[in-house]
Structure 1
Amino acid sequence: MPEEIAMLAQETVAALAAAGLTVATAESCTGGLVAAALTSISGASDVVYGGYVTYANEAKIAMVGVPYALLRQHGAVSKDVAMAMAEGALAVAGTHLAVAVTGVAGPTGGSKEKPVGLVHFAVASADGTTHVKKNFADLDRDGIRQASVAEALRLLLKAARA
């Protein structure tokens, strides 16, 4: 695991524990790497409920309740779907926080509207849902996925400290 991700995971687990918070993940392009980073830390079992790898649209629907109409209207890589993934994971898991990641890791699959490197993030809590959009176009597939994990951990850390 890259040093930056290991450090962020350690800080995030510590912050969640200090705040008495639990978390679930809903991941598409990262394929479970956010949950893997968190659970690589000793003591993560106190704060990590688990993760949903919702790579296919059907999994987004079945596992975290993303409405089919939302996927059809906006596509999987969108603000609306990222927010629905986070909110769905929060509801299904019953945790304090949920983070969602959906994007185009490439090298294929991009379009003019949704280029390779475009990633949407969302963090949901009882207080609401926040969204962040990033473009990691200068990175390869592995780089996009690693940068996405780091960003998801940063967002969770911020939410845990709020």
Structure 2
Amino acid sequence: MSVYQESEQQTIASLYRQHHSWLFRWLRGKVESTESAADISHDIFVTLLAREEQLLLEEPRAFLTTLAKRSVANHWRRQYVEKAYLEAISDIPEDLHPSEEEQAIIIESIVAINQRLQGLPLDVKRAFLHAQLDGMKQQEIAEKLSVSVSTVKRYLSRAAAQCYFAISVK
């Protein structure tokens, strides 16, 4: 481990000691359970440890609040996706339900796709999801969205590029 990495870990350890309790209390007021607050708090500090750029913090609580707000938004987004998924499979006979592990993987995949498609116009997202999840052909998507096939092609290219570049950057 380099001197830089050791110094950075010490900075994060100090940040943790000085602000973890405050961050946990702040999160506890924003989410439904102590366990969720603890998980989010933990994830924030793990993310900081995994960063490659140096932390230069003049206002550590403002920085942690920004990270926490993003994490809480992601938490609620995941809760929404999980609830919608569980409602969707509730119509399927229980003996055909995916295992809990498979469900967790499916939910994480949906959340990741949703995150990668963020910022795209609704019709672009719909076209992509119809093609990928519903297996619809471009002509069917065009009819469903009341647009031309060439527009659907542009939508699909845009969504695919967004997913590709989101994956390649990480």
Same fold judged by TM-score > 0.5?
A: no
TM-score by length of 1: 0.26
> Rg bigger for which structure?
2
Instruction: Work out which structure has the larger RCO, using CA pairs closer than 8 Å and 6 or more positions apart in sequence.
Output: 1
Structure holding more strand per residue: 1
Instruction: Report the structure, 1 or 2, having the larger helix content.
Output: 2
User: With structure 2 as the length reference, what TM-score do the two structures score?
Assistant: 0.25
